Copies of this chain bind each other. A is one copy, B any other.
Amino acid sequence: MTDARTPDSSRRSARSRRAIHDAALALVDEVGYSRTTIEGIAARAGVGKQTIYRWWPSKAAVLMEAFLDLAQQASAEAAGAEGAEGAGGSPSGGGGGAIPDTGDLAADLRRVLRATVDEMNSPVYDGPARALAAEGIVDARVGAEFVEKLLEPQLRLYADRLRAAEAAGDLRPGLDPRIALELFVGPLTHRWLLRTLPLTHDYADAIVDYAVNGLAPRP
């Protein structure tokens, strides 16, 4: 089959996709995951239900893609807000690339955790991300898809950076990078989801210091 789409129709498709993403995220934020429907998304996006079913097999699939799109935007914005520093940003930016390796593990982690804090504090991200996380917590199938498609790709970026640190002799021998990364993402996610105390850059810096240097005195 040949692709009969003209440049104009692809532009229309891109616009429709973006409208569908925006509608899905707004709805899940307002009414929660379980009351968000394909019908509701279609009505809000001003497209037919068939348009959605042509591109996505399920509500979960629309939401995962919308969310990935959102995280990429948030990450790009956070990188933009950093000004000249530019590169980096939060790993939840999906395809958004590796954690920088300047040779200074703590500095690189501070930078990525600060960007993650900014993203978690961003209102456009917070509502839909909470709705999706809450549904994954009670519905194991949604949770598994959320973890596989959205979370694990981010965690792999931490594991990669920690493996580079290991190769450079910056990790205690025998540590498992897949466990070590949880000392960073665990505390930040805990504060964000449970809203125990403010999520700030100072907090991100403290977590990096505590985890890298440990709680026990160093000789």
- Interface residues of chain A, those whose CB is within 8 Å of chain B, are 32, 105, 130-131, 133-138, 140, 143-144, 146-147, 151-152, 155, 162, 165, 169-173, 175-176, 178-180, 182-183, 185-191, 193-197, 203, 206-207, 210-219
Cross-chain contact A216 with B140 (CB below 8 angstroms)? no
Closest to A202 in B: B179
Cross-chain contact A135 with B136 (CB below 8 angstroms)? no
Closest to A173 in B: B217
Q: This chain: how many copies in the complex?
A: 2
Cross-chain contact A151 with B189 (CB below 8 angstroms)? no
Cross-chain contact B215 with A171 (CB below 8 angstroms)? yes
Cross-chain contact A212 with B210 (CB below 8 angstroms)? no
Cross-chain contact B32 with A170 (CB below 8 angstroms)? no
Instruction: Name the one of B179, B188, B217 contacting A203, with C-beta atoms under 8 angstroms.
Output: B179
Query: What is the interface of chain A mostly: helix, strand, loop, or mixed?
Result: helix
Closest to A196 in B: B147
Once bound together, how far apart are the Cα atoms of A144 and B179, in whole Å?
29
- Beyond A189-B194, A214-B218, 17 additional contacts (C-beta under 8 Å) are A131-B138, A133-B137, A136-B194, A143-B195, A147-B194, A172-B214, A172-B216, A182-B207, A183-B186, A183-B211, A186-B188, A187-B187, A190-B190, A212-B215, A212-B216, A214-B216, A218-B219
Q: Which residues of B contact A217 (CB under 8 A)?
A: 169-173
Instruction: Name the one of B134, B183, B195, B203 contacting A144, with C-beta atoms under 8 angstroms.
Output: B195
Q: Which residues of B contact A172 (CB under 8 A)?
A: 213-218
> Can you spell out 17 A-B residue pairs with CB atoms less than 8 angstroms apart?
A105-B216, A133-B193, A134-B134, A134-B138, A143-B195, A162-B215, A165-B215, A175-B215, A189-B189, A189-B190, A189-B194, A211-B214, A211-B215, A212-B214, A212-B216, A213-B216, A214-B215
